[in-house]
Structure 1
Amino acid sequence: MASSGGSYVLQNSGSDEDLQQLMDQRKRKRMVSNRESARRSRMKKQKHLDDLMTQLSQLKKENNEIMAHVSITMQHYTNMEAENLVLRAQVAELSHRLESLDQIKEFMSQPVDYGGGFVDELYCGGGTELMDEFMNNSLSCLCVNKPILASSDMIRY
């Protein structure tokens, strides 16, 4: 019996050793698995960070392109606004000239009475051809046909 009891102790200690080895093996396996999982997690985080940095770079590039486009558009708008002001000034000046020419035409078409019943036919009735030639001849009134000199540089905001 003693021998059987001694063999039981040997078997038991062998089982304990096997159990300890099995537990150590599982522990090492778990540590390796945890390390691998942590490595994958770090790699995943790094990839996500790299993706975000790439996206940030792309967004900055797009933002710079948009800002350049807005700047060009604003410059065009400013130029158009200045040109519009010049054109409005020219319209006002030309309207004033037209009004003056209409007044001259009206004055020229009225008969002139020098007293004693003599009416000068040059400016009325019979002289309308001369009047039309005068109004249509661009050399007849040089001061009226001077160009308006204005540029967008003269206008300040």
Structure 2
Amino acid sequence: MMASSSSSIQQQQTQNNSSGSEADPQQIMDLRKRKRMQSNRESARRSRLRKQKHLDDLTAQVIELKAQNTKILSAINATTQLYLDMEAENSVFRAQFGELSNRLQSLNDIVNCLSITNNNGVRTATNSESDDQESFESFDLDFGDGFSMNSWGFSFANYPIMATQDAFMC
């Protein structure tokens, strides 16, 4: 369509130029008006194409950003789940640490109570007895079923020691 209208405009220009002064000013203005309209149509068509390309580019960008957003959200969810798992595990470890600290403190209190020297004639452990106790501890066997056996063949339960603080008043 564009080629045919351009050729018809060119033919009219050729006819006008060949006739020379015979062309009236109205025909020249009409010809210029048609050229301008044709140029405006072409410019509008190019503008529509640019707008369509821009819209297509933006649509593709939206799709890409949505895909990236989905990836980021899944990574955040996975990281959050790992964080919650670690936090739960840390809570368990803190509770175990507190329990073991309390047990250690109780056992240390018992050892201190047994080894304190005071004016009432309470027996204290000597250095050789402490050495014997350390070597005695190195021969303990743990059977994994809640019972342990030391090197002298005495078995004892491997369960937590529960005692109140005033049970070993020193």
Q: Same fold (TM over 0.5)?
A: yes
Instruction: Give the number of equivalent residue pairs.
Output: 125
Q: Which residue of 1 aligns with 2:157?
A: 142
Superposition deviation, residue 108 in structure 1: 3.7
Aligned-partner SS, 2:157: coil
Question: 2:15 is matched with which residue?
Answer: none
Structure 1 gap ranges (5+):
1-13, 112-116, 146-157
Max radius of gyration: which structure?
1
Higher relative contact order (CA 8 A, sep 6+): 1
Match of 1:30 in 2: 36
Distance in 2 separating the partners of 1:33 and 1:91? 84
1:17 & 1:71 partners in 2: Cα distance?
Answer: 79
RMSD, aligned α-carbons: 3.2
Aligned to 2:134: 132
Distance 1:35 1:29, change over 3 A: same
Residue 22 of structure 1: how far off its partner (Å): 2.0
Taking the aligned partners of 2:89 and 2:23, their CA distance within structure 1 comes to: 97
Q: Which runs of 5+ in 2 are unaligned?
A: 1-19, 142-147, 151-155, 161-170
Letter in 2 for 1:66: I
Identity %: 48
CA contact (8 A) 1:108 1:131 kept: no
Distance 1:96 1:26 in 2: 102
Give the structure-1-normalised TM-score.
0.64
Distance 1:127 1:39 in 2: 104
Corresponding position of 1:9: none
